[in-house]
Amino acid sequence: MEKIEEQFANLNIVKRSSETKEPTYLLGIDTSKTVQAEKGSLVAVLCSNGSIRIYDKERLNVLREFRGYPGLNGVKFANSCDSVYSSCTDGTVKCWDARLASEKPVQLFKGYPSNIFISFDISCNDHVICAGTEKVDDDALLVFWDARINSQDLSTTKDPLGAYSETHSDDITQVCFHPSNPNMVVSGSTDGLVNVFDITVDNEEDALVTTCNSVSSVSYIGWSGKDYKQIYCMTHDEGFCWWDLNHLDTNEPITCLNIPDVREVINMKEGILDYLIGGLYHEKTDKLFVVGGTNTGIIHIMSCTTSGLVHVTRLQGGHAATVRSFCWNMQDDSLLTGGEDAQLLLWKPGAVEKTLTKKDSMKIASSVYQRVRVHSNHSYKKRKKQ
Amino acid sequence: ISKVSRDSLYEVVQEVLHENQHRRRKFLETVELQISLKNYDSQDKRFSGTVRLKSTPRPKFSVCVLGDQQHCDEAKAVDIPRVDTQALKKLSKNKKLVKKLAKKYDAFLASESMIKQIPRILGPGLNKAGKFPSLLTHNENVVAKADEVQSAMIDDEPAHNTRLAVSFLVSLLKKNWQNVRALYIQSTMSKPQRLY
């Protein structure tokens, strides 16, 4: 097994989030990108009860909560500050300052009348926000805003720069900006199409670089490969597609892999795969991994090869129900996962003492410190309580 | 389907197809599968997708091949509408012509070499119409693929297709059969008949 795969296999739970009064599904996770002395990293979690919770990354305790926004979709930190964004079916993209206790958004990006936003992303230089809508009448739109906060601009509500309306024919479920090129963005829809745009080009038609067809309904999209010139997607019926845009102008096909139903072809020594959650591109090793799971809470990690998906490892003893979100941290190779069991878990690589017993109800044990230890023979010890 | 026996599925379909036989004229009817769900949380994962049926039940469903040399030759041999590279370039960014093309056919198949060019040559016309082509590889037979989408259902095909559709849906539901409250089948000329 390669080193990175060994690392995945050695992931163990380091922390579980403390119990909260209102159990909800944890639908999205993102971590702060800024590094501030004396201040720990933050985790923002999208909860199914219409709130965004901010946690301390190492302790997984809730620092603050932005409540009362039914219809939120997606959660993302800015790249250069600790603002956190989410799109909403009420036709806005909201921005909060994750370091402030105030529950009100510090900025609102308003869409066009009757826009219902179900996806969004912010460009890597924090300049542009793009949000995707549900199909309303005959249109599914990608709406764009200037995200820069102008100190002279006192207004906290921003209107769009414009929108794309011609390239999707159904709900736009995913928007993903290129990790390092702020001008490229990819969108995915229940119409099965994955569209790649260069937003520096004036009109929509010419901005459309290519359209890939998953022939199903897109649930997740991402960028991968050296220089991030590949795109991949997952579908609602657990399919997986992988395209290489390096071949757009060559004679070679751009399709690297097209699996209609991963559940049917994945070879696992034991157990089954119920669903796919998303993808994870590991820069250092130039490898793409697919994350999936079971309805009992087991997480499966698979690696992508041109001949198919290969099962790498399973993460057990963590969740007790469907896993809905994850966030991989490239700096310390740690993994955060969130599920329908209302738990947020922090996993880190390294040999650890025997894992905690699996939680099979909503009750979460009082916080136990679990330190990562090498070559320990003890079953878990109770550390000082938080 | 585990919860619906072969026999009861067959019986129900027969009932649906042959009820009111005397009132039926010879025309193509639509068979509808109605699904009632339960225990489904609005925050559960969305279920959405396409299932390939044994034979796609749409008469007069026209397919056009946007093909490379080989695929166009195969299509020509069996009289399937086709557009080759040169003809496609003639439509280049002409919105009106692209719209016309999109309206003329129900679905499109395209060779790998063509499919990556479509946005640049045709613009988003096929995207907007919901008719972006599916990939046609050289491992696939043009005739077989196009044929698939043109036949209507006869005999036991409705039962078989119902089985496929239900299995597909159940596999996407978190609690599988626990999420299904009821299933009904109905055709244009019949009352809904309960299947589950």
Q: What is the ipTM of this complex?
A: 0.82
pLDDT score of B41: 85
> Per residue in A146-180, pLDDT tens?
999 776 666 689 999 999 999 999 999 999 999 99
Confidence of residue A282 (pLDDT cuts 50, 70, 90): very high
Of all residues in chain A, what percent carry a pLDDT higher than 70?
A: 89
Interface test with B, best of A46, A169, A212, A264 (most B CBs within 10 A): A169
Round to whole Å and give the CA distance between A355 and A317.
Answer: 7
Whether B128 sits inside 8 A of A167 (CB atoms) is: yes
Mean residue pLDDT across chain A: 89
Q: Closest Cα of chain A to B103: distance in Å?
A: 14
pLDDT score of B42: 82
pLDDT score of A153: 63
Would an 8 Å CB–CB cutoff place A247 in contact with chain B? yes
Which of the residue ranges A84-98, A326-340, B58-72, B74-88 would you say has the lowest mean pLDDT? B58-72
B107-111 and B134-136 strand pairing: parallel
Whether A263 sits inside 8 A of B113 (CB atoms) is: no
Contacts of A239 in chain B (CB under 8 A): 49
B82-83 and B63-66 strand pairing: parallel
CB A186 within 8 A of CB A194: yes
Round to whole Å and give the CA distance between A130 and A147.
Answer: 9
pLDDT score of A364: 41
Which of the residue ranges A4-13, A172-181, A354-363 would you say has the lowest mean pLDDT? A354-363
Q: Which residues lie closer than 8 Å to B127 by C-beta, 6 or more apart?
A: A166, A167, A168, A169, A191, A193, A195, A211, B119
Q: Closest Cα of chain A to B143: distance in Å?
A: 19
A37 vs A280: which has the higher pLDDT:
A280
Whether B124 sits inside 8 A of A211 (CB atoms) is: yes
Residue type, A169: S
Of all residues in chain A, what percent carry a pLDDT higher than 90?
A: 77
Contacts of A217 in chain B (CB under 8 A): 46, 48-50
A313 vs B176: which has the higher pLDDT:
A313
> Per residue in B118-175, pLDDT tens?
998 999 999 999 999 988 888 777 777 766 545 445 556 778 888 888 888 888 888 8
Would an 8 Å CB–CB cutoff place A48 in contact with chain B? yes
Which pair of structure tokens corresponds to residue B135? 């990939």
User: Which residue is closest to B132 within chain A, CA to CA?
Assistant: A213
User: Which residue is closest to B137 within chain A, CA to CA?
Assistant: A253
User: Which residue is closest to A248 within chain B, CA to CA?
Assistant: B116
> Per residue in A107-148, pLDDT tens?
999 999 999 999 999 999 999 999 999 999 999 999 999 999
Our CA angle for A274, A278, A279, nearest 5°, is 125
Query: Pick from B112, B118, B168: which is nearest to A253 by CB?
Result: B112
Q: Which residues lie closer than 8 Å to A373 by C-beta, 6 or more apart?
A: A351, A352, A353
Contacts of A211 in chain B (CB under 8 A): 118-119, 124, 127, 132
Confidence of residue B1 (pLDDT cuts 50, 70, 90): low
Confidence of residue B55 (pLDDT cuts 50, 70, 90): low
* Nearest by Cα to A327 from A133, A51, A74: A74
Whether B129 sits inside 8 A of A169 (CB atoms) is: yes
